[in-house]
Amino acid sequence: MAHYNTVLLLFILCQLSRAAQDYLPMSVCPPGAREWQIEADRKKCQQPTPDYLCAAIENWPGHFGEICTKFGLSPSGTCVVLNNLTHNVDSVSCNAQEGCPDKPYNPKELYNWPVCYGDFYGKDSEPDAEPGDSGLIIGVVLAIPLIIICSLVVVFILDKRFKWGLMTRLSSCVPERQEDDTENSLLDTNG
């Protein structure tokens, strides 16, 4: 049962690392329906995250990213953004003087509200802080060990299933600890 729980946990972690791999930084987002569809076709989003999204990075004006996700309607008066650390979909209040979404909308039509790609935070509310590359660094630091662990688990499972004997070969490469004869002889004479 413990083996099953470990495999299940690693499967879940592998899926989370796959989601992180779907994120790509973009210099701009598609400006219209035709360009949006071209990018969506290129990205090839599939179940369980079939929807293409390109959005501004939260609190980081001028930076954008694309992901595969699944979404419903976004409330009026908000802009869909990507969280600057996790790259998950989020909505923030649109405080621009004009051009904010005036009705609930499907994020796949975000291009209809160009203000959501600009400084929609308003003059009175500055973004918290520019995250710089910290989000990317955190993502890489978390993703690399997950990918390594997932790869090792797959190799271990395949080794057991197909009886390749990799684990036996690896253990034979590790030198056995040899006890120091001098230390043993001193113990014998003192004992």
Does 23 score more than 60 pLDDT?
yes
Domain ranges of the chain: 24-131
Would you place residue 144 in the very low, low, confident or very high pLDDT band (cuts 50, 70, 90)? confident
- Pairing mode of beta strands 78-82, 51-57: parallel
pLDDT, mean of residues 62-88: 92
- The number of C-alpha atoms within 13 Å of 11 and in the hemisphere containing its C-beta is 7
* pLDDT given for residue 158 in this prediction: 76
* pLDDT given for residue 64 in this prediction: 96
Mean model confidence pLDDT for the chain: 77
- The more confidently predicted of residues 45 and 133 is 45
- Residue 135 and residue 87: Cα distance in Å, rounded? 9
- The number of C-alpha atoms within 13 Å of 106 and in the hemisphere containing its C-beta is 7
Would you place residue 80 in the very low, low, confident or very high pLDDT band (cuts 50, 70, 90)? very high
